[in-house]
Amino acid sequence: MPLETWLLFILVALVPAISPGPAVLLAISNTLRFGRNATLASATGNAIGLIVLGFAVAFGFGAIMATSALAFTVLKFAGAAYLIYLGTKVWRDKTGFNTLDGALCTRKSHSALFIQALAVSVTNPKAILVISALFPQFMSKSGIQIDQVVILSLTYAALCWLNHAAIAVAGNHLRRFIISPKRMRLARRITGGLFVGFGAAMAAASR
């Protein structure tokens, strides 16, 4: 892939990479609930999920999602149900934003956070459709070339990972602001409500 094409891809891909969505909200939630290092673990899970989606789209999964109403609907409701589940869990977790706890990151293992973020990533049909629309514009018209798929998938995943890493750093400072029980409760309700809202929006979305 020519260098100028790759740089143009980075410029274009920055917009969806930093746009608010379930993965970004999950990064914010994990930073506030568990701390910076936990968010880096979930960011890695999200990045791996995007790499999987990149390869899946390149080999036809995106086309299936775009043309099959059943496949899109099944994945859409699976992703929506999972987001609503996460939102309900955050809302009800009264200790989830306890910034006075010195062992925040030990309340949930990094491997569990990794798997959680991976699940959010690969069950987001809109992410699949975004990748389906974006990647082909920067790939050879003569057919699938593995090196291009690798470059585009790794680049997009890296951009999203860096965005989540920035959230992790900024969120560590924000955690100091929600030290009071009232602010912790408000943060739980806003975050949980946003997860449920994303889930409801996903369930209502059409192709």
Q: For every one of its 207 residues, what pLDDT tens digit does the chain have, with 9 covering 90 and above?
A: 788 889 999 998 888 888 878 888 888 888 877 878 888 999 999 999 999 999 888 877 656 655 667 766 776 777 678 778 777 877 776 655 555 444 444 467 888 999 999 998 888 777 777 788 888 888 777 666 888 889 999 999 999 999 999 988 887 666 666 555 666 677 667 777 777 777 777 677 665
Cβ pair 32, 175 in contact under 8 A: yes
Cβ contacts of residue 122 below 8 Å, gap of 6+?
49, 52, 53
Give the residue ranges of DSSP H helices in 59-109: 61-67, 69-92
Q: Where are the domains of the chain?
A: 22-204
Residue 43: its pLDDT value, please? 94
Long-range pairs for 164-169: beta carbons < 8 A, 24 or more residues apart = 164/23, 164/24, 164/27, 164/39, 164/40, 164/42, 164/43, 164/46, 165/39, 165/40, 165/43, 167/24, 167/27, 167/28, 167/31, 167/39, 168/27, 168/31, 168/36, 168/37, 168/39, 168/40, 168/43, 169/36
Question: Can you give the pLDDT at residue 97?
Answer: 54
pLDDT of residue 162: 95
Provide CB contacts within 8 A for 202, sequence distance 6+.
Answer: 22, 76, 79, 80, 83, 124, 125, 126
Q: What predicted TM-score, i.e. pTM, was given to this entire model? A: 0.75
- Give the pLDDT confidence score for residue 103 in this predicted structure: 43
**Tokens standing for 170?**
């900024």
